[in-house]
Chain A
């Protein structure tokens, strides 16, 4: 059952990636898509400089608006972040993000003794909020040149998704771009390789410690339409849910933790069937009513 769910999740992740990065010509010719669908932000960390990308990365878009010198706040991008967040919170991370998929696949490689968390996890998990505030918002807005424009600091100095899905394929297929490589590319490749190697041993280190998009969506987990609930009458506090949870969440206490990526492993595992999602609870009853939420919804 758990295996079935993991396979389903991998297929959904891969299918969503193919659907939102379906401009095959871009990969062949070393170009990017220039159509009007790029107005729209996709939910995951999906670089708009990926040759196949049909939509825009919300974190890249947020920096583009804030570093333009024209706006102090982005209604548009915060609107998209709020829309995806209020609908599903970090369900995006578990099911709809290309860089989440990459880390899931890397963790399947049978190398190293697998561990959930990096040493210092307790503190490191807050780093993603620093990255969000500093690299995505403050630095792009405040460090500006004579034109009044700033840099997209997160994209430029950190984002491994941009290096992997944008940089690598474009540089492989476009000799002009290749000739412009310098120290910045070396730095970004170093970061990417580090994250790749760490992802083989640890589960999703980038999502846990660095991703500003996961940090935003996590804040919506407790209030999103899609939530988890624990039926306290059924829960026997065996703590098995935390053992199977690769994000290491004590689900019986905090089913809507900001760290939960909504993979569903805990729900599948629970021996007493105490964990439910709000989707199941919205199932329409035969007489036309809607089932009420059962049990306590701990946070």
Chain B
């Protein structure tokens, strides 16, 4: 891979990741994550 491509690929991925986070928030995924995270996860702690 050329140096320029090597520098561009991560920047494109970062831009895409921000778009995905935005899209996920609009779809209601962020709210779902928050709801899971603020209630004790019984499976995580080995009870559930």
Assembled-state Cα–Cα distance A38/B32 (Å): 11
Which of B6, B11, B29, B45 has the most A CB atoms < 10 Å from its CB? B45
B19 to chain A, nearest CB (A): 8
**In the complex where A61-B33, A82-B16, A151-B43 touch, is A156 in contact with B48 (Cβ < 8 A)?**
yes
Partner of A48, one of B23, B36, B46, B48: B36
Interface of A is mostly: helix
**In the complex where A39-B30, A39-B34, A64-B36 touch, is A293 in contact with B46 (Cβ < 8 A)?**
no
Size category of the B interface is: 35 or more
The chain A residue sitting closest to B5, CB to CB, is A223
Assembled-state Cα–Cα distance A163/B28 (Å): 28
| A162 and B45 within 8 A (CB) | yes
Partner of B10, one of A76, A86, A163: A86
Assembled-state Cα–Cα distance A171/B38 (Å): 17
| B20 and A78 within 8 A (CB) | yes
Assembled-state Cα–Cα distance A290/B48 (Å): 53
| A293 and B6 within 8 A (CB) | yes
B30 to chain A, nearest CB (A): 5
| A79 and B32 within 8 A (CB) | no
Query: Is residue A194 within 8 Å, beta carbon to beta carbon, of the partner chain?
Result: no
| B3 and A166 within 8 A (CB) | no
Interface of B is mostly: helix
Assembled-state Cα–Cα distance A121/B38 (Å): 38
Partner of B40, one of A71, A170, A224: A170
Partner of A80, one of B11, B16, B17, B37: B17
| A292 and B24 within 8 A (CB) | no
The chain B residue sitting closest to A192, CB to CB, is B46
Question: Interface code A152-183, partner B: CB below 8 Å = 1, 0 otherwise?
Answer: 10011001001100110011000001001110
Query: Is residue A284 within 8 Å, beta carbon to beta carbon, of the partner chain?
Result: no
Partner of A224, one of B1, B10, B23: B10
| B45 and A166 within 8 A (CB) | yes
Query: Is residue A83 within 8 Å, beta carbon to beta carbon, of the partner chain?
Result: yes
| B38 and A87 within 8 A (CB) | no
Query: Is residue A185 within 8 Å, beta carbon to beta carbon, of the partner chain?
Result: yes
Chain A residues positioned under 8 Å from B32 (CB to CB): 64-65, 68, 70
Q: What is B's interface to A at a CB cutoff of 8 Å? A: 1, 3, 6, 9-11, 13-14, 16-25, 27-30, 32-34, 36-41, 43-48
Q: What is A's interface to B at a CB cutoff of 8 Å? A: 32-36, 38-39, 41, 47-49, 53, 55-56, 60-61, 64-65, 68, 70-71, 74-83, 85-87, 151-152, 155-156, 159, 162-163, 166-167, 170-171, 177, 180-182, 184-185, 187-189, 220, 223-225, 227, 292-293, 297
**9 A-B pairs with least C-beta separation:** A76-B24, A79-B20, A79-B21, A86-B13, A82-B17, A167-B45, A75-B24, A156-B43, A162-B44
